[in-house]
Chains A and B, each alone.
Chain A
Amino acid sequence: MVIGSVMIFGGGISGVQCALDLADSGYKVYLVEKKPAIGGVMAQIDKTFPTNDCAMCIMAPKLVACARHHNVELLVNTQLTAVDGKVGDFHVTLTKKALKVNEEKCTGCGTCALECPVEVIDEYNEGMRRRRAIYITYPQAVPMKYCIDQKACIGCGICQSECRANAIEYDQTDKTINLNVGAIVLSPGFEAFDPTVRPEYGYGRFKNIISRIEFERMLSATGPYGGVPLRPSDGDAPTRIAFIQCVGSRDEKSGNTYCSSYCCMAALKQAVIAKEHLDNLEVHIFFMDTRAFGKGFEEYLHRAEHEHKIIIHRNNRIADISEKKNQDLILRYHEDAEIHEEAFNMAILSVGARPPSESRKLSDILGVQLNEFGFCETDDFTPFDTNVPGIYVCGMFSGPKDIPDSISQASGVAGKISALLKDARNTLTTVPEYPAERDVLGEDPRIGVFVCHCGINIGGIVNVPEVADFAKTLPNVVYATRNMYTCSQDTQEKIKEAIRDHNLNRIVVASCTPRTHESLFQNTIRDAGLNAYLFEMANIRDQCSWVHMKEPREATEKAKSLVEMAVAKSRLLESLSAPKIKIKQAAVVIGGGLSGMTVALRIAESGFETHIVERSDKLGGHLNRIYHTLTGINPQEVLKESKKMISNNDKITVHLSSKIEDMSGYIGNFESHLSDGTHIEHGVTIVATGADEYKPDEYFYGEDKRVIRQTELGEMLAKNKFKAKNVAIIQCVGSRNQDSPNCSRICCFTAMANALEIKKRHPDTNVYILYRDIRTYGFAEKHYNEAARQGVVFVRWDTDMPPEVSKEDGQLVVRVHEKFIDDDIELRPDLIVLNAGIRPNPDNSEIARRLRVPLTNEGYFLEAHMKLRPVDFATDGIFLCGLAHSPRMIGESIAMANGAAARALTILSKPEIEVEGIVSVVDSHKCTGCNTCIEICPYGAILLNDQGIAEVIPAACKGCGCCGASCPENAITMKHYTDEQLLAEAIAAIRGVT
């Protein structure tokens, strides 16, 4: 028997993504988090590279969605104690530590924390701020439930007497929870390296040396100094700061010889943001190598250096730091073959990633194997499988990586599990049921108003009875009352009763913010037979009582006005239907390389018909030409195995030598015509078109047989045709230059793989790697170290003096200026290997046009969001993975392909999906077909119909309202935010202000 539920350990962004994808595909999810709130490390981050997006802005909607999802159960403050059973049927025992606050009753109002007399160091702000003993971990915490820090609480009893919701339970004890699940996911995240382990960096000794995380909190608007970095020693804003990279990464002394993968970009981002916050700030970054290998990262590095004037020191490891009398810091470093000394006001240690503290415990209880560093052991071709069947890993625990890679891996795990547990799909999930909706069309508005005291949060400042009495005087208001906590369970019953007793058809709640509470009340009124959109909120707490605390009179007047506005809008509210659209449960995958094959297999294994459309005459793409990898797995065998699985799967149809001639339709309902004449109706489309290897026109490539590319070297080695005695491998050929500004990501790995293979087979051959930066990120760093140990010679050049290849008497000569020793070097190799970069598939632009999805300037496909939606397009129902997105490693492509499959399965797994009611509609009598709305809709949700009139596809519309404000004929109405409704609200406000 297989159980249709999954338990996820770790509520960081990876765990949250995995939970959402699984819950949306028909599985019950238990999300277990050891802290009192989900959000993980990302919740601490101010901005994210390479878009400088506000982390909380992009993350909060996902956290809230997770908390609201009726098939996700959040178990916070909870840890694993024991596990039994096997794949498909695990018995898990958990311990939920007492929060000392009743989660059902706590409304998150925060009165308790205001009055708590015990101040404690706030971990969220890295100790630069205090919190109280009763607290939430961060201001936007999900769930928004307070808890008592039992180590700090002195038991004074104040919080209990302050709490109007009676939520404080001092006698609450730890609880044991037993659950039965089909699969387990580990996403416990990571921890930052403790810099005190390396005393030579002076952390803890010198006040003005801080860690990267402390600096991140300083940069945050919600941080201790409101976003301005200040020197810890004297509170002055610094004018010169330095970042020291690789602290606790790539470091033999601490044993962390791996690279933490994200710190280079994190430092660049912090440097750029710091300069935005402080004019005239001079920022130096001391890099070993600049590892800007992700999508658009090299361009970010370039802009940081040339536009923002960040001073970049390459090939540096700071050896010594001392402190001046004024507590400035003196850094000693190496440049131009000389030692320099410079003083800085502040230095930031870019501390690396360590395995999470509970990794040992998880490993002991679950029997999961850890690698030499304490991270979870996985391999390239199964990037999220642990050694225990049914237990998977995602995010940082499988190795350091950035957020988008964590997200694709998290979705990937969901894809894997979705296929694994397919027989139990939809067995444990529930669909909330509501009574039939009352038709209120044509009825006069009968408005009920509920004004909330929110304990003393509103009631302590705003005169709530006065507001409620005022509400009664407003036209169409037939019922108004006030509640201590409108969000409490018993008030929901009272609201339903009032709807029935007074025949109400519009509800207004005046309390906190709709961002967190609207859906709660909407569900309540649905329970009483009203359409969810007949609801409106007045935010009289967050935007009134809390911001006018010293002006109770004005706050009361404003609260009345806010209620009047909400009532004015509610009068014009309409029931909106959320139509259901049928899903054609089949997938089209464009591209039959490793990624395309992986996506197809996962979707087909989950039980859905899948078509692979491949332009060439065979499957496998570039994998056909790869013979060895760094981890020793034979790619050719993997390829053979995948091909066999595809031919054995009767759900998969392969269309070779074919392409998409035309695709029309929208999520759930696409129609494609292939060049081979096939016509397919499908619900989702996945783009896995891969990329091409650059064909160099430099260095005599194609003219001289002694100059070859890395793939040709791999083939030469595999076929025993390699004879050279001196090999020069040149990196970054056709990457990181004007034509192709970004890094090709895989070439440093191939260089190491090939160099080590040469050394293994021909130990006497001399190998020279001519590089700009070595970017063997993550655990691959050990292969770089190994290559150095094997005697591979590394020669560093820079773009001002790149290697030159000439021929003298038929002999190949390489001349290069070595940066570290600042001297010219001459090599006379008998083989030159060019590590040619990756170029986007030239077919991309045609495919992009047919699918109406965007490309980057370089010609890769552009995903919906660079950080949090790596495998989605903005257009619903279309996904991407592999090198169609950007250059990536085999394991990363596999993870991403599984991720794309998981996202596609969230749609395919349902026969129909419910569409959001807040969409725009076109008045066909007014529309002239001018195309304006079609051009500006970011989701391709508007199409011209047969009559030449614009038509909105509700399934694709996200409700932003851009079209409504743009229509020159005023023919578009944005439902729920119509001109009339918004103006009624605004005009009520103008009349109301006295």
Chain B
Amino acid sequence: MADFEPKLISFLCNWCSYAGADLAGVSRYQYPPNLRVVRVMCSTRVSPQMVLRVLLDGADGVLIGGCHLGDCHYISGNYYTEKRYDVMLKLLQIVGIEPERVRLEWISAAEGEKFSKVAKEFTAKIKSLGPIPTKKSKELAEKLRAAEMASRSFRLTALVSKEYNLVTRGNVYGEKLNDWELREIVDNVAEEEFERAMILQLTKGEKLSVKDIAAMTDIPTARILSHIVELKKSNLISTEQMRGVAPLYRAMKA
């Protein structure tokens, strides 16, 4: 493990954190060479899907850098980043991958030293965690793929995008929603969408019964059935045939 050199991707916003990384250079603050920076205009550009895709492709960790809250060059972009980050962590937790592999930091254009400190800490942290476990475990890789699919779902994307405004500006009834209650709703949706993605993934290659799926995942049978009902409504899964008393299901081709 001592020789493990993690592959780290960092999405930095142009105006603050990328400038902070530049200032680290100007000030010659040294840090390990593992981090690769992808510049975006605003941290809000970084969708959960993008981060999960990068992990699926074999990155050992992802660092997202934005302006400090209230300092966003685009007024409010980083508040959305924060919400997106929460859902990334939630999905990683569902999959069973250490959430520490994705880190969000606010770094200003004047914080060169902070950037190098974060880069050092993050590299050390991922070194101690070792390579991303999906490389060794097919099961985890499958789950991560499902999480990535969940992150693209309409329900989850819509909720995560609206979350900040529902809490701070209020909904169509003029009520401001409670942060924690809404979080719980979003977390639930994340779990459900993940499970549905898992079901679709498993039934892609072979026809499976509810019990088959339950045996392959830890999802209770009743819950699987309810997911299948919803997936059928959206024309994503179909009933193929019966095996004894158990209907068999198969994911429909997109």
- Do A and B interact with each other, yes or no? yes
Tell me the minimal C-beta distance from A463 to chain B in angstroms: 14
B23 & A964 in contact (Cβ 8 Å cutoff): no
A513 & B45 in contact (Cβ 8 Å cutoff): no
> Using a CB-CB cutoff of 8 Å, which residues 68-111 of chain B contact chain A?
68, 70-71, 73-77, 80, 84, 108-111
Number of A residues with CB within 8 Å of any CB on chain B? 73
Whether A970 sits at the interface, judged by CB under 8 Å, is yes
Chain B 13-49, CB within 8 Å of chain A: the 1/0 string? 0111011011111111111111011111110111101
> Using a CB-CB cutoff of 8 Å, which residues 180-221 of chain A contact chain B?
220-221
Chain A 548-592, CB within 8 Å of chain B: the 1/0 string? 111100110110011001000000000000000000000000000
Tell me the minimal C-beta distance from B33 to chain A in angstroms: 4
A962 & B42 in contact (Cβ 8 Å cutoff): yes
Whether A706 sits at the interface, judged by CB under 8 Å, is no
Whether B181 sits at the interface, judged by CB under 8 Å, is no
Q: Which residues of B contact A938 (CB under 8 A)?
A: 74-77
Q: A558 with B158: in contact, given A977-B40, A989-B38 (CB under 8 Å)? A: no
Closest to A969 in B: B154
Interface hit among B112-120, B137-145, B229-237, B242-250: B112-120
Whether B7 sits at the interface, judged by CB under 8 Å, is yes
Chain A 510-533, CB within 8 Å of chain B: the 1/0 string? 000111000000000000000000
Q: Which residues of A contact B108 (CB under 8 A)?
A: 54, 56-57, 221
Q: Which residues of B contact A645 (CB under 8 A)?
A: none
Q: Which residues of A contact B24 (CB under 8 A)?
A: 542-543, 546-547
Tell me the minimal C-beta distance from A49 to chain B in angstroms: 12
Q: Which residues of A contact B162 (CB under 8 A)?
A: 932, 935-936
B109 & A56 in contact (Cβ 8 Å cutoff): yes
- Name the contact of A983 in the complex, choosing from B7, B34, B54 (C-beta under 8 A): B54
Q: Which residues of A contact B164 (CB under 8 A)?
A: 936
Closest to B80 in A: A962
- Name the contact of B22 in the complex, choosing from A513, A959, A966 (C-beta under 8 A): A513
Distance between Cα atoms of A979 and B151 in the complex (Å):
14
- Name the contact of B30 in the complex, choosing from A539, A547, A964 (C-beta under 8 A): A547
Whether A541 sits at the interface, judged by CB under 8 Å, is yes
Closest to B164 in A: A936
Q: Which residues of A contact B161 (CB under 8 A)?
A: 932, 936, 965-968
Whether B67 sits at the interface, judged by CB under 8 Å, is yes
Whether A802 sits at the interface, judged by CB under 8 Å, is no
A139 & B23 in contact (Cβ 8 Å cutoff): yes
Whether B50 sits at the interface, judged by CB under 8 Å, is yes
Distance between Cα atoms of A932 and B165 in the complex (Å):
10
Distance between Cα atoms of A551 and B5 in the complex (Å):
14
Chain B 150-181, CB within 8 Å of chain A: the 1/0 string? 00111101101110110000000000000000
Q: A54 with B16: in contact, given A547-B31, A977-B40, A979-B50 (CB under 8 Å)? A: yes
Q: Which residues of A contact B23 (CB under 8 A)?
A: 139-140, 222
B22 & A542 in contact (Cβ 8 Å cutoff): yes
Distance between Cα atoms of A551 and B34 in the complex (Å):
12
Whether B53 sits at the interface, judged by CB under 8 Å, is yes
A546 & B44 in contact (Cβ 8 Å cutoff): no
B7 & A961 in contact (Cβ 8 Å cutoff): no
Closest to A144 in B: B26
Whether B133 sits at the interface, judged by CB under 8 Å, is no
Whether A918 sits at the interface, judged by CB under 8 Å, is yes
A986 & B38 in contact (Cβ 8 Å cutoff): yes
A960 & B45 in contact (Cβ 8 Å cutoff): yes
Q: A961 with B41: in contact, given A222-B112, A932-B162, A967-B157 (CB under 8 Å)? A: yes
Closest to A565 in B: B36
Whether A958 sits at the interface, judged by CB under 8 Å, is yes
Closest to B45 in A: A961
Whether A158 sits at the interface, judged by CB under 8 Å, is no
> Using a CB-CB cutoff of 8 Å, which residues 187-243 of chain B contact chain A?
none
- Name the contact of B25 in the complex, choosing from A222, A514, A542, A967 (C-beta under 8 A): A542
Closest to A223 in B: B110
> Using a CB-CB cutoff of 8 Å, which residues 922-939 of chain A contact chain B?
930, 932, 935-936, 938
A57 & B157 in contact (Cβ 8 Å cutoff): no
A547 & B70 in contact (Cβ 8 Å cutoff): no
B30 & A550 in contact (Cβ 8 Å cutoff): yes
Closest to A52 in B: B70
- Name the contact of A60 in the complex, choosing from B9, B19, B84, B113 (C-beta under 8 A): B19
Closest to B161 in A: A966
Tell me the minimal C-beta distance from A131 to chain B in angstroms: 13
Whether B59 sits at the interface, judged by CB under 8 Å, is yes
Q: Which residues of A contact B80 (CB under 8 A)?
A: 936, 962, 965-966
Whether B57 sits at the interface, judged by CB under 8 Å, is yes
B57 & A986 in contact (Cβ 8 Å cutoff): yes
Q: A965 with B15: in contact, given A513-B22, A542-B25, A990-B57 (CB under 8 Å)? A: no
Chain A 207-245, CB within 8 Å of chain B: the 1/0 string? 000000000000011100011000000000000000000
Whether A985 sits at the interface, judged by CB under 8 Å, is yes
B109 & A965 in contact (Cβ 8 Å cutoff): no
Q: A221 with B110: in contact, given A51-B70, A874-B75, A932-B162 (CB under 8 Å)? A: yes
A964 & B67 in contact (Cβ 8 Å cutoff): no
Q: Which residues of A contact B165 (CB under 8 A)?
A: 935-936
What 7 A-B pairs come out closest when comparing CB atoms? A542-B25, A961-B45, A966-B161, A989-B36, A546-B25, A960-B74, A965-B47
A–B Cβ pairs within 8 angstroms, 23 of them? A52-B70, A54-B68, A54-B108, A57-B67, A140-B26, A515-B18, A542-B22, A543-B24, A544-B33, A548-B31, A962-B42, A962-B80, A965-B45, A966-B80, A966-B157, A966-B161, A968-B154, A977-B45, A979-B50, A986-B9, A986-B50, A990-B7, A993-B34
Q: Which residues of B contact A (CB under 8 A)?
A: 5, 7, 9, 11, 14-16, 18-19, 21-34, 36-42, 44-47, 49-50, 53-54, 57-59, 67-68, 70-71, 73-77, 80, 84, 108-114, 116, 152-155, 157-158, 160-162, 164-165
Q: A549-B30, A561-B36 are in contact. List 11 more A-B contacts (CB 8 A).
A: A46-B110, A221-B113, A222-B112, A542-B25, A544-B33, A546-B28, A549-B28, A936-B165, A974-B45, A986-B59, A990-B59
